[in-house]
Protein backbone atom coordinates (compact mmCIF):
# COMPACT_ATOMS: atom_id res chain seq x y z
CA UNK A 1 0.00 0.00 0.00
CA UNK A 2 1.32 3.45 -0.97
CA UNK A 3 2.24 5.63 1.98
CA UNK A 4 2.33 9.39 1.40
CA UNK A 5 5.69 10.98 2.09
CA UNK A 6 5.86 12.98 5.30
CA UNK A 7 6.50 16.72 5.05
CA UNK A 8 9.87 17.33 6.72
CA UNK A 9 9.75 20.45 8.87
CA UNK A 10 12.51 22.58 10.37
CA UNK A 11 11.40 24.49 13.47
CA UNK A 12 13.18 27.79 14.04
CA UNK A 13 12.36 28.63 17.63
CA UNK A 14 11.47 25.96 20.16
CA UNK A 15 9.30 27.87 22.60
CA UNK A 16 5.65 27.18 23.36
CA UNK A 17 4.59 27.72 19.74
CA UNK A 18 7.35 25.52 18.37
CA UNK A 19 6.42 22.68 20.69
CA UNK A 20 2.74 23.02 19.82
CA UNK A 21 3.60 22.84 16.11
CA UNK A 22 5.69 19.74 16.74
CA UNK A 23 2.84 18.08 18.66
CA UNK A 24 0.35 18.73 15.84
CA UNK A 25 2.53 18.22 12.75
CA UNK A 26 0.48 15.18 11.71
CA UNK A 27 -2.42 17.55 11.01
CA UNK A 28 -0.89 18.14 7.56
CA UNK A 29 1.05 14.90 7.27
CA UNK A 30 4.23 16.49 8.58
CA UNK A 31 6.99 15.71 11.05
CA UNK A 32 9.57 17.92 12.71
CA UNK A 33 12.98 16.54 11.76
CA UNK A 34 15.20 19.45 12.84
CA UNK A 35 15.14 22.31 15.34
CA UNK A 36 17.16 25.51 15.59
CA UNK A 37 17.02 27.57 18.78
CA UNK A 38 20.14 29.19 20.27
CA UNK A 39 18.40 29.30 23.67
CA UNK A 40 18.05 25.50 23.68
CA UNK A 41 21.48 24.32 22.64
CA UNK A 42 21.00 20.78 23.89
CA UNK A 43 18.79 20.00 20.89
CA UNK A 44 18.78 20.59 17.16
CA UNK A 45 21.23 22.10 14.72
CA UNK A 46 23.90 24.67 15.62
CA UNK A 47 23.32 27.12 12.79
CA UNK A 48 20.83 28.04 10.09
CA UNK A 49 23.75 27.81 7.69
CA UNK A 50 23.77 24.03 8.22
CA UNK A 51 20.17 23.10 7.50
CA UNK A 52 19.73 19.43 6.46
CA UNK A 53 19.32 19.06 2.71
CA UNK A 54 16.05 17.11 2.92
CA UNK A 55 14.07 19.85 4.70
CA UNK A 56 10.81 20.67 2.87
CA UNK A 57 9.81 23.79 4.78
CA UNK A 58 10.84 25.92 7.78
CA UNK A 59 8.43 27.35 10.35
CA UNK A 60 9.89 30.33 12.21
CA UNK A 61 8.58 31.75 15.51
CA UNK A 62 11.32 33.64 17.33
CA UNK A 63 11.67 37.35 18.23
CA UNK A 64 11.50 40.65 16.32
CA UNK A 65 15.26 41.07 16.79
CA UNK A 66 16.11 37.87 14.91
CA UNK A 67 13.10 37.19 12.68
CA UNK A 68 14.21 39.12 9.59
CA UNK A 69 17.74 37.68 9.58
CA UNK A 70 16.44 34.14 10.13
CA UNK A 71 14.07 34.44 7.18
CA UNK A 72 16.76 35.86 4.90
CA UNK A 73 19.19 33.07 5.80
CA UNK A 74 16.59 30.41 5.03
CA UNK A 75 15.45 32.02 1.78
CA UNK A 76 19.05 32.27 0.61
CA UNK A 77 19.07 28.44 0.74
CA UNK A 78 15.77 28.33 -1.21
CA UNK A 79 13.92 26.82 1.74
CA UNK A 80 10.20 27.75 1.84
CA UNK A 81 9.53 29.71 5.03
CA UNK A 82 6.49 30.33 7.21
CA UNK A 83 7.04 33.03 9.85
CA UNK A 84 4.83 34.28 12.64
CA UNK A 85 7.47 36.54 14.14
CA UNK A 86 6.06 40.07 14.10
CA UNK A 87 7.84 43.40 14.59
CA UNK A 88 9.74 43.39 11.27
CA UNK A 89 7.02 43.21 8.61
CA UNK A 90 7.71 46.84 7.67
CA UNK A 91 10.78 45.38 5.93
CA UNK A 92 8.83 43.06 3.63
CA UNK A 93 9.44 45.31 0.60
CA UNK A 94 13.14 45.35 1.43
CA UNK A 95 13.14 41.56 1.52
CA UNK A 96 11.41 41.41 -1.87
CA UNK A 97 14.28 43.38 -3.41
CA UNK A 98 16.76 40.78 -2.13
CA UNK A 99 14.97 37.66 -3.31
CA UNK A 100 13.26 36.71 -6.55
CA UNK A 101 9.69 36.09 -5.42
CA UNK A 102 9.04 33.84 -8.41
CA UNK A 103 11.47 31.25 -7.10
CA UNK A 104 11.42 31.84 -3.32
CA UNK A 105 8.55 31.29 -0.91
CA UNK A 106 7.66 33.21 2.25
CA UNK A 107 4.34 33.21 4.07
CA UNK A 108 4.14 35.69 6.93
CA UNK A 109 1.35 36.62 9.28
CA UNK A 110 0.57 38.59 12.41
CA UNK A 111 -1.72 35.77 13.51
CA UNK A 112 -1.91 32.23 12.11
CA UNK A 113 -4.91 31.23 14.22
CA UNK A 114 -7.58 29.62 12.05
CA UNK A 115 -10.25 31.25 14.21
CA UNK A 116 -8.66 34.69 14.04
CA UNK A 117 -8.50 34.60 10.25
CA UNK A 118 -12.21 33.78 10.23
CA UNK A 119 -12.62 36.68 12.69
CA UNK A 120 -10.87 39.04 10.24
CA UNK A 121 -13.55 38.26 7.65
CA UNK A 122 -16.35 38.69 10.19
CA UNK A 123 -14.97 42.07 11.32
CA UNK A 124 -14.64 43.25 7.73
CA UNK A 125 -18.22 42.32 6.86
CA UNK A 126 -19.66 43.71 10.10
CA UNK A 127 -17.77 47.00 9.96
CA UNK A 128 -18.72 47.63 6.35
CA UNK A 129 -22.40 47.36 7.33
CA UNK A 130 -22.19 49.22 10.63
CA UNK A 131 -20.21 52.12 9.17
CA UNK A 132 -23.06 52.81 6.74
CA UNK A 133 -25.34 53.79 9.62
CA UNK A 134 -23.11 56.65 10.71
CA UNK A 135 -24.22 56.33 14.35
CA UNK A 136 -21.64 54.00 15.92
CA UNK A 137 -18.29 54.73 17.52
CA UNK A 138 -15.80 51.85 17.39
CA UNK A 139 -13.28 50.83 20.04
CA UNK A 140 -10.91 47.91 20.51
CA UNK A 141 -9.42 46.03 23.43
CA UNK A 142 -6.75 43.32 23.36
CA UNK A 143 -5.02 41.29 26.07
CA UNK A 144 -2.02 38.96 26.04
CA UNK A 145 0.34 37.29 28.50
CA UNK A 146 2.83 39.37 30.46
CA UNK A 147 5.80 38.24 28.35
CA UNK A 148 4.47 39.58 25.04
CA UNK A 149 6.74 42.40 23.90
CA UNK A 150 4.70 44.42 21.41
CA UNK A 151 1.63 46.45 22.42
CA UNK A 152 -0.66 46.81 20.61
CA UNK A 153 -0.15 43.40 19.06
CA UNK A 154 0.37 42.72 15.37
CA UNK A 155 -3.10 41.20 15.31
CA UNK A 156 -4.61 44.36 16.78
CA UNK A 157 -2.89 46.38 14.05
CA UNK A 158 -4.37 44.11 11.36
CA UNK A 159 -7.84 44.50 12.88
CA UNK A 160 -7.36 48.27 13.01
CA UNK A 161 -6.40 48.32 9.32
CA UNK A 162 -9.56 46.34 8.48
CA UNK A 163 -11.75 48.75 10.46
CA UNK A 164 -10.03 51.76 8.86
CA UNK A 165 -11.19 50.68 5.41
CA UNK A 166 -14.74 51.58 6.42
CA UNK A 167 -14.48 53.72 9.55
CA UNK A 168 -11.23 55.75 9.99
CA UNK A 169 -10.00 55.27 13.54
CA UNK A 170 -6.69 56.19 15.17
CA UNK A 171 -5.19 54.28 18.11
CA UNK A 172 -8.20 52.00 18.10
CA UNK A 173 -6.92 49.42 20.60
CA UNK A 174 -6.22 49.55 24.32
CA UNK A 175 -3.73 46.82 25.30
CA UNK A 176 -3.34 44.77 28.48
CA UNK A 177 -0.37 42.53 29.32
CA UNK A 178 -0.90 40.26 32.30
CA UNK A 179 -0.65 36.69 33.53
CA UNK A 180 -0.78 33.90 30.96
CA UNK A 181 -3.53 35.19 28.64
CA UNK A 182 -3.12 33.48 25.26
CA UNK A 183 -4.83 36.21 23.25
CA UNK A 184 -8.10 38.12 23.44
CA UNK A 185 -9.33 40.67 20.91
CA UNK A 186 -12.58 42.59 21.21
CA UNK A 187 -14.21 45.19 18.99
CA UNK A 188 -17.12 47.26 20.27
CA UNK A 189 -19.58 49.24 18.15
CA UNK A 190 -21.28 51.72 20.48
CA UNK A 191 -24.24 54.04 19.81
CA UNK A 192 -26.56 56.11 21.99
CA UNK A 193 -29.10 53.30 22.01
CA UNK A 194 -27.20 49.99 21.86
CA UNK A 195 -23.84 48.26 21.62
CA UNK A 196 -22.54 45.42 19.43
CA UNK A 197 -19.47 43.40 20.43
CA UNK A 198 -17.31 41.00 18.44
CA UNK A 199 -14.85 38.91 20.45
CA UNK A 200 -12.18 36.34 19.65
CA UNK A 201 -10.63 34.58 22.63
CA UNK A 202 -7.86 32.05 22.02
CA UNK A 203 -8.05 29.15 24.49
CA UNK A 204 -4.66 27.70 23.56
CA UNK A 205 -1.94 27.98 20.94
CA UNK A 206 -3.25 24.95 19.06
CA UNK A 207 -5.27 27.07 16.61
CA UNK A 208 -2.13 29.10 15.80
CA UNK A 209 -0.12 25.91 15.25
CA UNK A 210 -2.70 24.45 12.88
CA UNK A 211 -2.76 27.63 10.81
CA UNK A 212 1.05 27.68 10.56
CA UNK A 213 1.04 24.04 9.48
CA UNK A 214 -1.58 24.72 6.80
CA UNK A 215 0.62 27.56 5.56
CA UNK A 216 3.64 25.25 5.52
CA UNK A 217 1.85 22.72 3.35
CA UNK A 218 0.81 25.52 0.98
CA UNK A 219 4.35 26.94 0.88
CA UNK A 220 5.83 23.70 -0.44
CA UNK A 221 3.71 23.86 -3.59
CA UNK A 222 3.71 27.63 -4.21
CA UNK A 223 6.17 30.48 -4.63
CA UNK A 224 6.05 34.15 -3.80
CA UNK A 225 5.75 36.34 -0.72
CA UNK A 226 2.27 36.13 0.81
CA UNK A 227 0.43 37.46 3.84
CA UNK A 228 -1.33 34.46 5.41
CA UNK A 229 -4.51 36.50 5.64
CA UNK A 230 -4.59 36.82 1.84
CA UNK A 231 -4.20 33.09 1.13
CA UNK A 232 -6.09 31.71 4.12
CA UNK A 233 -8.97 30.19 2.13
CA UNK A 234 -6.55 28.52 -0.32
CA UNK A 235 -4.63 27.04 2.63
CA UNK A 236 -7.85 25.57 4.01
CA UNK A 237 -8.71 23.94 0.70
CA UNK A 238 -5.42 22.06 0.26
CA UNK A 239 -5.88 20.05 3.45
CA UNK A 240 -9.37 18.78 2.72
Q: Which residues are catalytic?
A: 144, 148
Diameter over CA atoms, the chain:
66
Strands (E), the chain: 7-12, 30-36, 57-60, 81-83, 105-108, 137-144, 173-177, 183-190, 195-202, 224-227
Strands (E), 94-221: 105-108, 137-144, 173-177, 183-190, 195-202
Task: For residue 49, give the 3-state DSSP assignment.
Answer: helix
Helix pair 206-221, 228-237: axis angle to 10 deg: 80
Q: What is the chain's Cα-based Rg?
A: 19
Which residues, in sequence order, are CB contacts of 192 under 8 Å at separation 6+?
135
Backbone angles phi, psi at 82, to 5 degrees: -115, 125
DSSP 118-130: HHHHHHHHHHHHH
Amino acid sequence: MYKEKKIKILLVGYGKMGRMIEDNADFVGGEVVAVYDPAVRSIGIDSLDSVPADIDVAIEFTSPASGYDNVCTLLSQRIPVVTGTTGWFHRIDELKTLFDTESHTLIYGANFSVGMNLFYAIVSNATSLIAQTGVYDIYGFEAHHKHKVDAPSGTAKVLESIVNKYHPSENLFTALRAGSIVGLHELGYDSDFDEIKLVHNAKSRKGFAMGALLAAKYAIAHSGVHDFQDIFTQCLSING
